[in-house]
Chains A and B, each alone.
Chain A
Amino acid sequence: MSEMMDYVLSFLILTGAVFTFIGSLGLARLRDFYTRLHGPTKATTLGVGSLLVASAVYFSTRGEGVSLHEVLVTLFLFITAPVSAHLLAKAALHLRLKSLAKAPEEAGRPET
């Protein structure tokens, strides 16, 4: 494996791990459900996507042909993450969870 490929792989793996961590940190630290929904569904998707790209590059450079297993997992995760986030938001609205944002009536109209 060349020097250049080593750096690219290290960068992708580190980016993926850091974004995965940031997503879970958001899930643990933010203050209401709707903001908590934000963290994992975006940051974690990017993190896992980056790790999967790193894996595809790694297994493709080992001289056993192009590795396409990762594309399946990536495609599946990228299709299902928005769907599950949408369903979770619908469930939260159905249960009338408290939001930190003001309701539209209370927010008032901006001065013109």
Chain B
Amino acid sequence: MCQSIFHHHSIFCILPPNILRSIAHNGTPEQRTAAMHTLGADNTFRTLRASARGPAPAAAQLRARVLAEAQKRRTIYNASNTNNLPGELVRAEGAPPTGDKAVDEAYDGLGATFDFFEKIFGRNSIDDKGMPLDATVHFRLDYNNAFWDGERMTFGDGDGDLFNRFTISLDVIGHELTHGVTQHEAELMNFFQSGALNESMSDVFGSLIKQYVLKQKADQADWLIGAGLLTDKVKGVALRSMKAPGTAFNDKLLGKDPQPAHMKDFVNTFEDNGGVHINSGIPNHAFFLVANELGGYAWEKAGRIWYETLRDSRLNPVSGFRQFAMLTSLNAGRIFGAGSAEQDAVRKGWKSVGIEVESMEWILEAA
């Protein structure tokens, strides 16, 4: 842990947690990031010790990840509007821009995502082991989607009628790559509540990546997913709104944004794999509320808490909202101190969306 990318702050390795927390609150942005990285890694070690995976292999695995050199390895392919994956290699790491907007946006978006996870969380690529980042653009003709296939990202050009090209939104690129991060951490199943959590994690980090690139504080961000993706013909501003779930679009053809912002409006359905893109509005809004309450750059505190929770081994592939919420509160308490303003903000955020966590946290702590 002390030999991570933050080795120039090696003093953090010998500081007790209370001093680190003080730096995390009062230091310069760089000092805060380094201190929270150390606190987060310390938390991860403790969590892993308590996990059923066993202490020695987990610690060795983590050490290996931290010691691995973080280096971007991006490769962009062109499917030339066919069904064939991966397509023709059109831009490799270090190559100059091609002039093809989709190719260059994908290349830059992959780079921004890599940099965000590496600089803020000390994560070495999607799998934390230096995984190459591959993406294919111009998939099929008029393809209105972008997806993560478990190994690579794929982007359509949109039909130009409803959707623009899917590389246009950096948060969409971040969203898809975060599916890879989740795949290598909590492995949340993409069905029902665990699937909605999976989608929410992708929205949270997708939005944070955009905020990081634009250097926006929580109150400056639009908290939209897919801004710019809908054409002028569509009545809507994006695919989803974390700030105001259910308000992103209301169009004759697309229908109305179905996302709830509160558990009382939770949608029980078998469509959309059990409402994974619908009910994700609830944890999305909880994150927005926490980030807004804490102020400043959302990735520094709220993002850190969410990231450490995603890595917490007590989060399992079928975890639901309540378990995730309780873990965010526990992680906030460990990183920033029990009863800290950060932990209070987390509890308050979840309570505002109808999830009470404080009275139930002891169950997970005991476990």
Whether A associates with B in a native complex is no
Question: Which A positions have Cβ atoms within 8 angstroms of B?
Answer: none
